[in-house]
Structure 1
Amino acid sequence: MTKISNKKPHVAVLAFPFGTHAAPLLHLVRKLASLDDLVIFSFFSTAKSNASIFGHVRVADNNIRVYDIEDGVPEGYVFTGKHQEDIELFIKATPTNFKKGFEVAVEESGGRSINCILSDAFLWEVADVAEEMGVSWVPFWTAGASSISTHFYTDLIRKKVEAGGQNGYNKEEEPLDFIPGMSSLCIRDLQEGIVKGNLDSLFSRLLLQMGKMVPRATAVVLNSFEELDPLILDDLKEKFQQCLTVGPLNLTSPSAPDTGDNSCIKWLDDQKPASVAYISFGTVMAPPPHELTALAQGLEASGVPFLWSIKDKLKVHLPDGFLARTKESGMVVPWVPQSQVLGHKSVGVFMTHGGWNSVLESITGGVPMICRPFFGDQRLNAGFVSSVWEIGIRATDGTLTKDGVTGDLDRMLSRKEGHFMREKVEALNEQANQAVSTEGSSTRNFNVLLELVTKI
């Protein structure tokens, strides 16, 4: 029997339109949409965010529809330069901006009521909206289990730090052994907004509230796999109604074809196996100028073949003559197809900021890491890379220096320590691929998710 049109599932997808949040959510939705063409997925984000991930195409797939919502910036508004000013304006406009978008999407779908809200976990206010509408709320955490765990335990962490401070201990070095699965990490590894930074900022309060709200969700979805953090996930499964790991998404979800210059792959083809240092610090941050200079000096002094993805505007910080002197041993480009690079047999180490997407891509490429984190969950990720999974190291002294770079590259590419880490990351790679196989943990969890979001 054919279902009545307005009784077919209609899932509202709410993106957090900053950083690299929207793209992983879209990857997840594309996979869901590919498995059930009776479901409509209405994808809501700001015009700027949608343009960055969809281009000019307003219908992403047959059953994914794209809607622009208000970004919270008043007409004629002049930005003051305040840190995260655009994020604060957007948060203040939420969830009213999404509610307006819902009305348009329901009307354009022929009256199909929304049966589920799938959102970025940052958008915690959606919990109340879903409750008002009588529908399920499924937040998606784009990062790993450790970072959502620390947000869940923020109040406990603050109490421990406050109590410890009264006893005169060094809180930075205090181990997180009171949180399941984190005994190898310390307070200094935590994200801003928990015990460091401006705890009264709008963004810090957002993260605190998110940690309090996610237990109300029908299910919390993570871009990870169960075998990576079993102790943390066992704990979260007790705290949340459901905790579903469905990643690594870079192994399972269709992505847009690479349209950039792929000449670096041909260059890699000519290099020896596991000999190249690949360097990239993501699209949002870059090391300060003096560290870029030191990194270049270290690469040149080491003689290690390298592939460095760096924006053209930052090349001014490279030493005079560096590009000419290293043109035989290195390649400097503004962009690379990162997953393809990390999967190449010649890449021996990845120097990275430790963002979650990069960590997952390094694991699924079987490449150990040198982490130089900057903000957010990057320090936490670096701690797991070095101290828990043992698949990489933190940059010596936490910053990039000429001697530190040469020493770290030597450790990773020429010594038994690096060989050991490569074996460890290759084992995790096998587990990741097993997780997304037909009978794997992520596949099972994904099927549960599909059933949840399509339930009327």
Structure 2
Amino acid sequence: MPEGVISGDLDSCYATMLLRMGRNLPKAKAVAINSFQDIHLKLVGELKDRFQSFLNIGPFSLKCPPTWTSDEHRCLEWLDQHEYASVAYISFGRIATPPPHELIALAEALEECKVPFLWSFRGNVDEKLPKGLIKRVGSRGKIVPWTVQLLVLAHPSVGVFVTHGGWNSILESIIAGVPMICRPFFGDQKINMRTLEKVWGFGIGLQGGVFTKNGAKEALELTLLRKEGWEMRDKIRGLKENAYQSVGADGSSTEDFNTLIDIITK
């Protein structure tokens, strides 16, 4: 379970938020979430029994795709130069960042594995990553301050997404059909990682839950270079198809969205 539910600081803002949500959500006329029904049919069925109206109206990235598509750092052009499912795409979102020793461990693993990588990196590369890294990896690596993540994940050369495991990032990876390596930090991220591993089977966590050079190398090689990685891609492809079907004209998310509109306008 996430910290703040049965362990950790039970008086924290996060724990207090979860407590208030648990008390008030059953009273709601409708609970609408950014997900789709086929993502976990058993769980969705249980939630439908608990709430007055439980509605899956996502994935939002498919229902309302972002209009900002500028690729100012020419990431897609760089990806065009690499083979199918060979690139590790790395991004930890807008808030979480691994501590300095983990960033160095990941960078060293990428260098030693010799896998191509695209890293959306917040901060000063020269200060936080090993000296001379960019020069040593050459065209095999590209580090930029920002990417159009949906377009990057959808590129055929991307083979794995190294992520913090936030829900939006997981949904974007699913609709792109890209397996994941998760380094969770807080909130729902740890339980999301466990779901990727134990329920869906197209994502993995790290040994000990943090980046070490050997642990990162093992995860990268498993997802990009071994048969397990191809099996993950086969599994996620099925859920990707379900996601697209859900937002179609007769899809379950479309039906739930129409139900939400009816509830609001009555």
TM, length-normalised to structure 2: 0.97
Q: Aligned partners of 2:222 and 2:14: how far apart in 1?
A: 38
What does residue 59 of structure 1 align with?
A: none
Pick 1 or 2: higher relative contact order, CA cutoff 8 A, min separation 6: 2
SS in 2 for 1:307: strand
Aligned equivalents of 1:349 and 1:261: distance in 2? 22
- The 5 Å alignment of 1:109-120 reads none
2:214 aligned with 1:403, yes or no?
yes
Report the counterpart of residue 446 of structure 1 in structure 2.
257
Residue aligning to 1:96: none
Instruction: Check the 8 A contact 2:14/2:187 in 1, yes or no.
Output: no
Q: Distance in 2 between matches of 1:367 and 1:260?
A: 20
Alignment of 1:86-235 (within 5 A): 190-235=1-46
> How many angstroms apart in 2 are the aligned matches of 1:304 and 1:450?
47
SS state at 1:446 partner: helix
Amino acid across the alignment from 2:198: S
How far is 1:326 from its partner?
1.1
Distance 1:411 1:247 in 2: 30
Which residue of the other structure, out of 226, 230, 246, is the alignment partner of 1:415?
A: 226
* TM alignment of 1:218-257, pairs within 5 A: 218-257=29-68
Runs of 4+ that moved beyond 6 A? none
The residue that corresponds to 2:103 in the other structure is 292
* RMSD, aligned CA: 1.2
> 1:234–1:200: structure 2 CA closer, same or farther, 3 Å change rule?
same
Q: Does 1:304 align with 2:115?
A: yes
Q: Find out whether 1:386 has 2:197 as its counterpart.
A: yes
Query: Structure 2: where are the runs of 5+ without partners?
Result: none
- Structure 1, unpaired ranges of 5+: 1-189
What is the number of equivalent residue pairs in this alignment? 266
- The answer to whether 1:338 aligns with 2:149 is yes
The answer on 1:266 being equivalent to 2:77 is yes
Name the CA shift for 1:429/1:202 in 2 (closer, same or farther; >3 Å): closer
Distance 2:123 2:138 in 1: 16
* Residue type of the alignment partner of 1:267: W
Please say if residues 196 and 203 of structure 2, whose CA atoms lie closer than 8 Å, have aligned partners that are also in contact. yes
Residue 315 of structure 1 deviates from its aligned partner by: 4.4
**Offset at residue 230 of structure 1 (A):** 1.1
- Percent identity over the alignment is 48
SS of match in other structure, 1:241: coil
- 1:202–1:418 CA distance, 2 compared to 1 (3 A): closer
**Quick one: structure 1 residues 251 and 411, their matched pair in 2 at CA, closer, same or farther if it must change by over 3 Å?**
same
Deviation per CA, 1:33-81, whole angstroms, max 9, x where unpaired? xxxxxxxxxxxxxxxxxxxxxxxxxxxxxxxxxxxxxxxxxxxxxxxxx
Partner of 2:179: 368
